[in-house]
A and B are shown apart, each in its own frame.
Chain A
Amino acid sequence: MIKTQRFDAVTLAACVLVFAMSSRPIQAWDASFAAVAEVIHTRCMSCHDSETREGEIDLTPLLQKNNSSYGKYTNLWIKLENKVTRGEMPPPGEDPLKPSEKESIKNWFQKSFVLRKGKAHIGRTPLRRLTRYEFENTLEDVLSIKLKIPYRDAITDRIDVSQIESIVPADIPGESGFDNDALYMEQLKPPLNDLANAVHYALSEFSKDSIARKAVLGRADIPADASAVEIQQIISKFLLRAYRGKREQLQEYTKVYYNLYQKHVEISKDCNVSLRHVFEMILVSPEFLYRFEESKNLDTPYPVAGLELATRLSYFLWSTAPDEELLRLGRDGSLLQDEVLRSQVARMLNSRKRLAISENFAGQWLGFDDLLSNREYLSSERWNRETYDEVLFFVDELIKSDKSFLELIHSDWIYKRSSALSSDRHGYQVVDPETGQTLYADIFSSRQSTTQNERARYDPPVLVKTQNDREGGIITSPAIMRLTASKDRTSPIRRGVWVLSTIIGQDLEPPPNVPSLEEARALQVKENPSVAELIKQHVSKSECIICHKSIDPLGLGLENFAPTGEWRTHYPDQTPVQSAGVMPNGKTFKTPREMKLLLLEIYQDDIASNFVEQMFAYALGRKSEPFDRVSLQQILRAVQEDGYKINTVIEQIVLSKQFRYRQDR
């Protein structure tokens, strides 16, 4: 049923034809927009015009030529293209689009949102500022001191934060979902007061540490009679370190900061104190806090310099400044070569600094960093650290052993906390039968507990093979089960939504038409319905079932896991847990293991492309956009061909154009 807003397709075609005859290059453009507008008008307007607005969607603005590319309605276009490509629109019950109609939409989207002037591009490269996590790591490396809370092997009943973390406020995640979202950070004023106080603290620790001073300055103490040249050398050395190897204008910077030093030392009469003062300036300056790159002010992509690539690489894989080797290879340009880049990635993933990926990327993506930073999830120090470490070590194991990231969903091994293994091992193999060594991630070997106090002893989780069909992957880990429940009760919807949005990458929106419980009565649900009964209502309404046929089985399938992750067969009120389920494709499952295997069977492609997109967003500091599509598809293909290995994802992202090039507009 076509509603009021008619426009004459014939007239439109005529206009296009006239236009075509007058200006050839624009002809194709206009013709393809006309085709798209025609499809929208004839196939979408009956539900999505400005009056009806089914699902709160009004597509009429998209009929206008000046809304046909990046601008106010970008998100609407993305949504439209997504639904059409996936066959979700027109909805079931309506005639599907003809292949030619689908093509015209896809072509238009490709032309307007993916390509620019017919060529692939990478969008504007935002200016990146150090996040708190990166700031702390970088200070540690520049000053050669320890600032982060050391891993403790004894329980003290406190989860402490480092001084830096208590001085500098946490960053707020942007649209990318990560706190290093540069497009968001660009809009904010940096908390300079706090950053300066943090630098001040770090420098006071530095001044107490003679080994650090020797390593950084070349000598532990500066004598009172140090010459101007000597002081300048020290400042120059420090600048090179703080500014991540930048040699351009080094002399000018040294001169400026030396002048400031001179002014200060006239009053302080103490060169160590005045040097510290100048170091504080350097570590608060924009060149330290921001990752500037040389700009050509172009609207097309061009490669970044070697040193800049070194910085991008080290912040992606290590969340800190590049080390000597990276700086050298960056400076002499070899890092720009594929083979060198590849071998550096391999080296870096072999270093303990790769922990940043598990802590910072996975911690944010999967949300398990909340176990250590959000009070509401605190049960006890032991419980929180154990469950956090189980997931942390799991993710690191994927990198260490070159495994597929799909094992996050299902694996035949996990990291299991010691407290669950202490008495009866339940058949868990904690020691490698050949070497007799505890099965442990190499970079964590120093975390083996040394305390003699049995009660306070904290042993980190160990690698074990799973023994039942409940464990495997991280979805059913106590960490995730706790994070997707509230203290007193589980919510299947919350868990189902978590799996669908975080792991599978679906963009779920709040339901448009939620009926009141009065309607539930009409379905003859009991006074205090069980979880499964409550959820049954979802299948009674067409507008509910669209999403809930996917959400509910996942959440229900996890109902055997209590809020803190233990296995239960009954609810607190003794009603039995019903957790068998039916996936949207009709296949059934009875155990978590079966559910996970079905997840992989049904959603593997989505899971893979979601994972790639998440890591991509983390690496680039912005969410992915339609114009990234070509690159993302290439990366995904390479990843698929290589068995979905996490290290391949990392390598492919590093090799991508977005990672090695920049663009100013």
Chain B
Amino acid sequence: MRRNSYLIARRTMLRGAGMSVALPLLDIMSPAVSYAKPTETPPPRLCVLYKGCGVNPHAWDIVGGTETDFELSKILQPLAGVQDDILVVGNLDNEGSSSHLDAPTTFMSGTQRNRVNRYSFDQRIADQIESDTPIKSMQLTADNVWKQHPWLNILSYDKNDQPMRGQYDPQAVFNTMFKDEARTVRQKELLSVLDGVQAASSSLARRGSTRDQQVLEHYYDSIRDVEKSIQRARQNSRDVQLDKTTETFDPNIEVGNLGERIKAMLDLITLAFWTDSTRIVSCMLANTNSRVHYDFMGVNAEFHHVSHHVRNRQVLPAYDKINIWHAGQLRYLIDKMKSIKEGSGTLFDNSLIMWGSGIKHGDYHSLTDLPLILTGGAGGKLDLGRHVRYPQSQPYANLLLTIMRMMGTNAKSIGNSTGQLSGIMEKANFKPTNPDDGSWRLVSSDEKTLTAKGLLRISIESDNEYYQLRFSDKTDLEIRIPFMNNHKLRFDRCVGKVVTVTGLYKTVEGKKTIVTLTKAELE
């Protein structure tokens, strides 16, 4: 059993004890910390960060460039300076259209909506890897539970399809990791209580119907869960070696707005990884229907409201601003992890961070071409500093499978996966896509309908968003269709591809414009 220990300098301790601690937390655990040198390579950690409400594709998509030489898009600007440390992945589809309601679940389990078993990929990893951490995995959330849609705030589900609620209070998270002494005594007591309850129920006839008995199984499962997690914590307990002159280490962590809460959570994740308290964390930064008001960073609106930026063009600047801010939080985490030495490198080198949203287009709720960033060295497995856009769309579940393998499981599949993804652990080296073979043009047309083939782009001009079909003669056919028309045909996913469209058109200022699509076929 490997014991890890860390020292905490006295001055930083006293600053913390009993008073409200200013963030960031890690400043209280200063440079005088050392991770006991392990004999093997430090184990890889997985951090999944969910930022709901999608993006404005125009502000997210990286246009042009090559795999290793590309310009960051508007939303990704905060990551300039760590561009060599990120991998932006594009053209992964999670099939079908979704509402806000399913996105976190499909993001974590790679399933279709309404699938019964939502066993999430982080829990599959946690269940399989042999880790001697005191805590099996952590679930955190910075966003609120909204009573109307309470399941929106849940990312992880265990193998019995039980939702794993995220901890909202940073103090509680801290206490789980560090309040060792009081805990040990309590743990012993709790085991005894649960033993007693089980003894009592086994010797007494159980009442209730057959169905009631089945429900009780969940109760006994819960007892077993508690016993297992206590056992685990005891076997792998951490020694906190405090400076002898210090009495207690008991910071009072208080957070106000979302910004403070997110930073606290990111600090705690870093602390958790650094002290090897756990190796699997999922955190909800913004849930998929987030009603949080972003006035704390200068945007006087709710995130969800501004995500519907097509119906309501005015909110687009606010929407982009919030997403840019979120990218900045990822930057904060990257910087923090890079600053902590571990083994022969840093904590960053040994972690795998996945940051993304369960939907792409904030208004259309498309599940194609999800916005995703992978970062962290993953113990040398992740090849960073790249933008990979798959020429043919790939199942998003393949990414989950790839990560599951990178984290050391022998998983064969998850959700609707078809295999691992190339281009994650090594260069993709894709050939340029969609070469023009001269066949992009108006194919046929009558008074009301026309058919055309070309390369589809999305276009934003001042506050106008529409599609353009590029012909071989370099002219464009405009496509301006209603929201639901797009939604039903999943037309959004054709952007960046060669597509043959058929639809009703109007002639506006001498130019034909498609106003209703009846068919869209990809090449």
Chain A residues with CB under 8 Å of chain B are 124, 127, 166, 169-170, 172-173, 186-193, 196-197, 200, 249, 252-253, 256-257, 260, 264, 277-278, 280-281, 284-286, 289-290, 292-295, 297, 364, 367, 370, 374-376, 486-489, 510-519, 528, 664-665
Contact = CB atoms under 8 A, between A and B. Distances in A.
A515 B483 contact: yes
B305 interface: yes
A292 B211 CA distance: 12
Given A169-B165, A512-B484, A516-B483, A488 B293 contact: yes
A286 B310 contact: no
Contact of A257 (B150, B200, B207, B219): B200
A210 B216 CA distance: 35
7 contacts: A124-B211, A127-B212, A189-B221, A197-B186, A284-B197, A486-B293, A513-B482
Contacts of A528: 314
Contact of B301 (A186, A375, A488): A488
B197 A518 contact: no
Contacts of B480: 516, 518
Contacts of B302: 486-487
Given A189-B222, A196-B190, A488-B300, A295 B209 contact: yes
B291 A173 contact: no
B111 to A, nearest CB: 18
Interface string B217-234: 011011101100100000
A294 B207 contact: yes
A364 B480 CA distance: 43
Given A193-B190, A374-B144, 18 more contacts: A124-B211, A189-B160, A192-B219, A196-B226, A252-B204, A260-B199, A292-B207, A295-B209, A364-B147, A370-B147, A375-B144, A376-B293, A486-B291, A486-B302, A486-B305, A487-B295, A517-B311, A518-B466
Q: Which 5 A-B pairs have the closest CB atoms?
A: A295-B209, A281-B196, A515-B482, A189-B222, A172-B150
Contact of B205 (A127, A249, A280): A249
Nearest to A528: B314
Nearest to B200: A256
A514 B215 contact: no
A127 B215 contact: yes
A260 B196 contact: yes
Given A192-B223, A376-B291, A367 B147 contact: yes
A260 B202 CA distance: 13
B339 interface: no
Interface in B181-218: 186, 189-190, 192-194, 196-197, 199-201, 203-212, 215-216, 218
Given A170-B145, A172-B151, A189-B225, A664 B215 contact: no
B209 A297 contact: yes
Contacts of A510: 99
A292 B215 CA distance: 11
B313 interface: yes
A488 B314 CA distance: 15
A118 B155 CA distance: 45
A293 B208 contact: yes
Interface residues of B, number: 63
B489 interface: no
B9 interface: no
Contact of B216 (A169, A264, A286): A286
A286 B219 contact: yes
Interface string B148-180: 001100000000101101000100000000000
Contacts of B221: 189
Interface in B401-444: none
B312 interface: yes
B292 interface: yes
Contacts, number: 165
A378 to B, nearest CB: 10
A192 B194 contact: yes
Interface in B71-112: 99
A367 B291 CA distance: 15
Contacts of B481: 516
A132 to B, nearest CB: 13
A256 B199 contact: yes
Contacts of A293: 207-208
B223 A127 contact: no
For A188, A191, A249, A285, which residue has the most chain B Cβ atoms within 10 angstroms?
A285
B116 to A, nearest CB: 11
B219 A189 contact: yes
Contact of A513 (B186, B225, B484): B484
Contacts of B466: 518
B201 A514 contact: no
Interface string B235-248: 00000000000000
Contacts of A665: 211
Contacts of B464: 518
A197 B480 CA distance: 59
B209 A284 contact: no
B201 A286 contact: yes
Nearest to A260: B196
A566 to B, nearest CB: 18
A252 B216 CA distance: 21
Contacts of A517: 310-313
A511 B483 CA distance: 11
Contacts of A256: 199-200, 203-204
A252 B207 CA distance: 14
B219 A173 contact: no
Contacts of B204: 249, 252-253, 256
A295 B207 contact: yes
A253 B207 CA distance: 13
B218 A188 contact: yes
Contacts of B484: 511-515
A170 B357 CA distance: 26
Interface string B252-273: 0000000000000000000000
A172 B219 contact: no
A173 B165 contact: no
Contacts of A515: 482-484
A192 B222 CA distance: 6
Nearest to A169: B165
A134 to B, nearest CB: 16
Contacts of A166: 169
Given A374-B144, A486-B305, A264 B192 contact: yes
Nearest to A514: B483
